[in-house]
Amino acid sequence: MESKIIRAEEVAKELDVSVPYAYKIIRKLNDELKAKGYITVAGRVNRQYFNERLYGAERKDENARL
């Protein structure tokens, strides 16, 4: 089963970027989530939100929350 959280190392591999740059991307996504009132953890981001923001993937359930 795939984790609901994606870490910097996996982001780096997925996007073919360095790990420090992956942290920068995660920081930006976490800032967006914080502005929406979500609790975040440094160096990790919600996988579904990552996919939505980077690939434009829509949620399967419109009523689903992050």
pLDDT in 10s for each residue of the chain, 66 residues: 789 999 999 999 999 999 999 999 999 999 999 999 999 999 999 999 999 999 886 655 555 555
DSSP assignment of 28-54, as one string? HHHHHHHHTT---BTTEEEHHHHHHHH
Quote the pLDDT of residue 2: 80
Total-model pTM: 0.81
Helix (H) or strand (E) holding 16: none
Q: Tens of pLDDT along 50-63?
A: 999 998 866 555 55
